[in-house]
Amino acid sequence: MVFFMKEAMNKKLEKALLGFAAGVMVAASAWSLLIPAIEMSEKMGKWQVMPAAVGFMFGVLFLLVLDHIVPHLHIESDEPEGIKAKLQKTTMMVLAVTLHNFPEGMAVGVVLAGIASGTSTMTLMSALALSIGIAIQNFPEGAIISMPLKAEGVGKMKAFLMGTASGLVEPLGGLLVIALTSITIPLLPYFLSFAAGAMIYVVIEELIPSANIGKHSNIATMGFAIGFTLMMILDVVLG
């Protein structure tokens, strides 16, 4: 989008894209991660929800710690967060998105690791649904980081490359989980819900607040509804 849009991104479009990304992530967390995590623990009887609950909270706490450690700057903010560091504003904006992309890669990686082990009830099509959902919401994320960089005076190609680089952490997160398959499989319900917790943290901490700043927050709400519905359909139809 940075090559086709002449000016800064329209605020209404930005709100719609932020809401859409949030909707996809919430639906993916529920249908692709939390529900399978609970179903895998059915042998625990009425306590089968506990691995999902524990993993979810650890995912939230993991992102909370990273938020306090990694220096970063949210899109609609002028006040950097994390450990103080002498970094350029554009670098910290990229770090903010990079920080939040890691659990998305983990989510896909842990599902694929479970399928590869043969011990998971999930199918390759359900992994494909999750991958497509994450890929779709990466489009607005990339636009939301590259367009403000362009508005800050960064060249189109550099803004494009920095927006792209912010997403490269996703395959790294996926590969890390797959590489640790021997550890991951016995704890698969925990890893699935961990990824869900981390993604929900991103939605509540970053996407929804940014989408609701100023006027026309109803546009973000509609974007959320569309993203949630699309991801739900993908997971049920393909899964």
State the pLDDT confidence band at 112, using cuts at 50, 70 and 90. confident
CB atoms < 10 A from the CB of 44, how many?
13
The answer to whether residues 89 and 230 touch, using CB atoms and an 8 Å cutoff, is: no
Q: Under a CB-based contact definition with an 8 Å cutoff, are residues 99 and 67 in contact?
A: yes
Kindly state the DSSP code that residue 81 receives in the 8-state scheme.
B
Q: Domain ranges in the chain?
A: 17-212+219-238
pLDDT band at 229 (very low <50, low <70, confident <90, very high): very high
pLDDT tens column, 140-178: 778 877 887 787 778 888 888 888 887 888 888 888 888
User: Alpha-carbon distance 29 to 51, whole Å?
Assistant: 15
The confidence band for 81, taking pLDDT boundaries of 50, 70 and 90, is low
This prediction's pTM: 0.83
Q: What is the pLDDT of residues 118-128, one digit of tens each?
A: 766 677 887 88
* Averaged pLDDT, 26-49: 88
DSSP state of 204: I
Quick check: 79 and 94 in contact, CB under 8 A? no
Distance between CA atoms of residues 161 and 150, nearest Å? 11
Averaged pLDDT, 209-221: 85
